[in-house]
A and B are shown apart, each in its own frame.
Chain A
Amino acid sequence: MSEISLLPIIAILPFVGALMPGIVIRAGRNACAAFTAAPTLLALVMLGTLAPSVYDGTVYTTHFSWIPQLGLEASFFLDGLGLMFACMILGVGLLITLYARFYLSGDDPMGQFYTYLLLFQGAMLGITLSDNILLLLVFWELTSLSSFLLIGYWKHLPEGRQGARMALTVTGAGGLAMIGGMLILGDIVGSYNLTDILAAGDQIKASEWYLPALILILLGAFTKSAQFPFHFWLPHAMAAPTPVSAYLHSATMVKAGVFLMARMWPALAGTSEWFYIVATIGLITMVLGAVIALFKDDLKALLAFSTVSHLGLLTMLLGFGTKAAAVAAVFHILNHLTFKAALFMSAGIVDHEAKTRDIKQLGGLRKLMPITATIATITALSMAGIPLFNGFVSKEMMLEEATHTVWWENPWIVPALATLGAVFSVAYSLRFIFHTFDGPVRDDYPAKPHDPPFGMYASPAFLAIFVVILGLFPGIADGIVGMAASAVIGETVHPHLALWHGFKPALYMSIVAIVVGIVLLLLHRPLDAAWLAAPRPEAKRLFDDLIRGVVGLTRRVNDVLHNGALSRYLAIFCASTVAIGYLAYSGGGLLPATREMLPTPPLAIVAWALMVLATILVVVLHRTRFAALIAISVIGLVISIGFVYLSAPDLALTQISVETVTIMLLLLALHFLPKETPVESSIGKRRLDGLIAIGSGLGIGALAYAFMMRDFSSISGYHLANSYEGGGGTNVVNVILVDFRGYDTYGEIIVLGIAGLAIYALMETLLSGPAGARLRNSGYNNDRSHDRHPLMMVIAARLMLPIAGVVGIYIFLRGHNEPGGGFVAGLVISIALLIQYMASGFAWTTRRQRMEYHGLIGFGVVIAGLTGLGAILAGTPFLTSWFTYIHLPPIEEFEFATAALFDLGVFLCVLGAVMLMLYSLSRLARHSGETVNTEPMDYDPSKAPTFFEDGYRTEEEGR
């Protein structure tokens, strides 16, 4: 093994390249295709430089630590198998890029297509190059996701969307199973690195977890490779544009499952479980796919089921578990790629030119589009396994292996079924040729067919040349097949591929297949009628029923748990928390109390009694909402006082600001709600709720009591000790917020910002819905004062604004060392502004405010984030704070900490969120009919003409 850093670059190239097509499409379609081809070509060239030494047996590896705690490493390795697959993926990717350039019409967004294509290509490449199986899983899921985008590319077609969903569901579910299997595998071996796992084959097979791991991993591989009974998604994915089908179903997506089985071959294969699961499923899939393919009239559907059949063949070969079978599998992977990609592209050309791909509407195309017909005939003959084409060689190897296979002590069943599969394979391949291209020229094609431009048939023609060369001289593939097969098997093999194997059973089986296949084709008409008459399970309907059933089931469960009533969520949450707490208590018991009860001063008792009283009042008064709000504010005040009493000035300051803002906003919101809460629940339910409430209250009380009576160590000691040394501040609370737990705070301000934005967005929906209509008709003006903005309040608020502003800034600046900080400062300024808004009305005030509140939130998050990133530039982890002491001559030496900048972000975010909420409420008011004031106060004496004592007004005399 040797280290090389080229591998990650190769793996990342398509992803980087995926950024280009979307931009370059503006420069035209040719430029777009060229920019898609460039990263592919580059990656191919890079691989090419490594190829000679890989050919000689070198295995390249690269290791980067990603999340070592999880065993996840960004490690790549390249051996023969990986090289062969990577070359296939990139090479065919290149051909598809060229083909798609001509296939897609002007209406299709080509930039999107190429972006998806490169994403998918990158994901596939990642699978083949991953050394870490967790990394492999990441790429595996990426292929599911990006193939979803590709299959559903024609968003306007319902079949496209449904096919994409089905593919994603099936392969995604398989991926989930595979995650489980891979984790078990990693657990058995003790390493998630493929190189370690492949070396530990015996240990894995001896483990009692071998079978579960095997089944789970195979589920992933089978769903991806469309093996029975998961084969149904593949034909439905044919709704995708043909380039996608050609790419996904010849060289890449479906081959990922085969690749995985080949990759895991040394670790998992060779046991009887492996043989009976993999070979049997493969055999069934091969025969079933071939039979169905014969009766499909849609060219692409025929090819799809043929793909299913060939994937079954590959799976079966890998399932045999012998070296010769593995060699045959590797060779057939290569052959299948060449002829199937070309066939898909030919079918696409026919579809593109004749505007139909229904075999029953086609025929006679040989004379109209001779080039396409030639390509399609060559490749289809290869698919049939006719001598002189490459499909024949590998199919003979498969039949040869089948004759050596004994299934459940029966030596006949596998060869017989394999021959049956081959028979149907010949039949559908010949049908593809003769029913499409042969026969008389018709005059009822939906469009006049003719050969496409060179660019469109270049790719399939290129592949067809390979088909012939490999068919005539299979020996030239000795090297590459040997290289890949050695990697599969884990020891060096030197295969000798040849056209002629002598008079062996396989030859006779081939002859039988061809002869019977021709007979079947001749009998196609009556057979087809019989097939259509016979009852067949419709996979899509079964799948849809299954999905509908699952959706119905989850809906039933959800309707019980998540019926939209907040009281139910709370009840479930509280009841289960109490239950868990009780369980823990009854299971673990309680250590004896280690602390003395502190003396209780009368003041504390009075405050406590006040709080209990207010709480009870909330419960009693909760139907009268304003009264309940007053009781709630009492609770908030007592809690603030409690913080002061317990020497937590920071918390007290925060609590009291939060209380003020909350009560103000709630008051405004209550204005638009009914003044009373109606009785909606039965007395029994209310009793139950009361019980749950009392239970959880007592539980929390008991927990708090138990904790306070015992000594326990917490992180507080560390915070206290390191606040000044590490964070540069003496206010531990603030240092915790902006430094020790800066990450939490960063998340919290984002959540706060989202909350503000969500309220704003919800208001939009609210106003356009039935609630908005109710508001408009609510008769807002009925009963209210005409003096909304009294002079006294306006003047006082104006006086207070600068004072409150100074207080806010002061609290912000001293935050690091004294009680205060960005959060409280934000709240204080919010309150000052809230008062201003309430005094002079929203419209007048907001006109004097230059900044959008959305912007404040955004700036806040950005400033906090950039401060955190600054730490990375300085070489320390995200959000590490840095501080220094600055001495500027006129003022005292003061401290500057980056934490203050972070705090500024918090400040802006809080301010923006609160003001945005106010703005939302104001919109509600205006919507309900409140008029907008243009003056700061309703009655401004300074603007009024002078009144004399008798009410006589001089200016009015003239009128």
Chain B
Amino acid sequence: MIQDIIISVFIVLGGVFGLVGSFGLVKLQDAMQRLHAPTKATTLGLGGVLIGSMIYFALVDGHFSFHELLITLFLFITAPITAHFMAQTYLRMHRDEADLPPSGRPVGWSIYQDPPDFSADD
């Protein structure tokens, strides 16, 4: 009974964050803001469901399940890359180099300027 409640809490929590993420996607104004919303769904939302699933297998089925850890690992790898690409695309399509603050380095932002050539130093 208690384990059922614990599992349910995590699943419901995950669902809530999923809903929040989706709602944010609709509600927020431009792409840079919207980038934030799905991260809630992928990290907290899915995280809740995964934790619930792990507890279920550990307590009810009586064995430890690794799948959820793997899923988490893959999420951790893919989510930042996806976000990175989306942000890059947005900047490239809708913003100019002048809109951004200086990079603080001898070279400019990578999406607007070619990478510096280091080969001469080697």
Interface on A for B, CB 8 Å cutoff? 783-787, 790, 792-793, 796, 799-800, 938-940, 943-945, 947, 951, 953, 955
Contacts of A796 in B (CB 8 A): 77-78, 81
> How would residues 89 to 122 of chain B score, 1 for a CB under 8 Å from any chain A CB and 0 otherwise?
1001000000000001110001111111010011
Contacts of A943 in B (CB 8 A): 118, 122
A-B complex: 8 closest residue pairs judged by Cβ atoms: A787-B110, A939-B115, A938-B115, A785-B111, A787-B111, A786-B114, A943-B118, A785-B92
> How would residues 78 to 90 of chain B score, 1 for a CB under 8 Å from any chain A CB and 0 otherwise?
1011001100110
Contact B92 A784 (CB under 8 A): yes
**CB proximity of B43 to chain A, nearest CB, Å:** 17
Contact A947 B118 (CB under 8 A): no
Contacts of B122 in A (CB 8 A): 943
A785-B92, A786-B111, A792-B80 known; A945-B121 Cβ under 8 A: yes
Q: How large is the interface on B (under 10, 10 to 19, 20 to 34, 35 or more residues)?
A: 20 to 34
Contacts of A784 in B (CB 8 A): 92
**CB proximity of A834 to chain B, nearest CB, Å:** 15
Interface on B for A, CB 8 Å cutoff? 77-78, 80-81, 84-85, 88-89, 92, 104-106, 110-116, 118, 121-122
6 of the cross-chain contacts (CB-CB < 8 Å) are A783-B92, A785-B92, A786-B113, A787-B110, A796-B78, A799-B77
Report the separation of the CA atoms of residues A796 and B113 in the bound assembly, to the nearest whole angstrom: 23
**CB proximity of B29 to chain A, nearest CB, Å:** 21
Report the separation of the CA atoms of residues A943 and B110 in the bound assembly, to the nearest whole angstrom: 16
Report the separation of the CA atoms of residues A940 and B116 in the bound assembly, to the nearest whole angstrom: 10
**CB proximity of B89 to chain A, nearest CB, Å:** 8
Contact B121 A792 (CB under 8 A): no
Contacts of B116 in A (CB 8 A): 939, 944
**CB proximity of B109 to chain A, nearest CB, Å:** 8
Contact A787 B105 (CB under 8 A): no
Sample of 11 further A-B pairs with CB below 8 A, known A790-B85, A796-B81, A939-B116:
A783-B92, A784-B92, A785-B89, A787-B115, A792-B80, A792-B81, A938-B114, A938-B115, A939-B115, A953-B106, A955-B121
Contact B77 A800 (CB under 8 A): yes
Contacts of B104 in A (CB 8 A): 951
Q: Which residue of B lies closest to A953 (CB)?
A: B106
Contacts of B78 in A (CB 8 A): 796
A784-B92, A955-B121 known; A947-B115 Cβ under 8 A: no
Contact A945 B88 (CB under 8 A): no
Contacts of B114 in A (CB 8 A): 786, 938
Contacts of A944 in B (CB 8 A): 116, 118
Q: Which residue of A lies closest to B114 (CB)?
A: A786
**CB proximity of B117 to chain A, nearest CB, Å:** 10
Contacts of B85 in A (CB 8 A): 790, 793
**CB proximity of B28 to chain A, nearest CB, Å:** 20
Residue from the set A799, A800, A939, A940 with the largest chain B CB neighbour count within 10 Å: A939
Contacts of B89 in A (CB 8 A): 785
**CB proximity of A232 to chain B, nearest CB, Å:** 71
Contact A786 B106 (CB under 8 A): no
Contact B110 A790 (CB under 8 A): yes
A943-B118, A943-B122 known; A786-B77 Cβ under 8 A: no
Contacts of A790 in B (CB 8 A): 84-85, 88, 110
Report the separation of the CA atoms of residues A955 and B104 in the bound assembly, to the nearest whole angstrom: 18
